[in-house]
């Protein structure tokens, strides 16, 4: 079973309007690029024009981006509040 299928069984409760992770206004691009591969959910993206994209929905709350890049790219990294965020399903 590939990773996408495995990730597909997890459920996300998105706290609309209150993202738990917020990118800095001018993230360090060298640092950002590390996360194109390092984020296990593939949430850090760069298109062909060089524009960067990040969406906190689907975050696995693994903390990799915070540990790897911290404030060089992030304005905020928190766990989602209360019942929001990921609900892991195993099997
Ligand atoms: Fe990706 Fe993990 Fe950071 Fe969430 S915490 S955005 S899954 S690297």
**Residue with CA nearest ligand 1 atom 6:** 59
Is the complex ipTM more than 0.90? yes
In ligand 1, which atom is closest to the CA atom of 41? 7
How far apart CA 60 and CA 10 sit, in angstroms, is 9
* Mutation test residue for ligand 1: of 61, 67, 74, 77, the one with most atoms within 8 Å of CB: 61
> Residue 20's pLDDT band (boundaries 50, 70, 90)?
very high
Q: Note the pLDDT tens digit of each residue in 40-66.
A: 999 999 999 999 999 999 999 999 999
**Domains of the chain with CATH codes:** 3-87 (3.30.70.20)
The residue among 20, 16, 5, 26 whose CA lies nearest residue 62 is 20
58: which residues sit within 8 A by CB, 6+ positions away?
7, 12, 41, 43
């Amino acid at each position: 079973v590939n990773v996408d299928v495995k990730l597909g069984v997890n459920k996300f409760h998105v706290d609309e309007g209150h993202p738990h992770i917020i990118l800095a206004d001018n993230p360090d691009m060298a640092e950002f690029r590390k996360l194109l591969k390092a984020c296990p959910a593939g949430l850090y993206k760069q298109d062909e024009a060089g524009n960067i994209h990040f969406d906190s929905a689907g975050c696995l709350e693994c903390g990799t981006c915070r540990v790897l890049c911290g404030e060089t790219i992030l304005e905020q990294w928190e766990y989602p509040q209360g019942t929001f965020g990921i609900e892991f399903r195993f099997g």
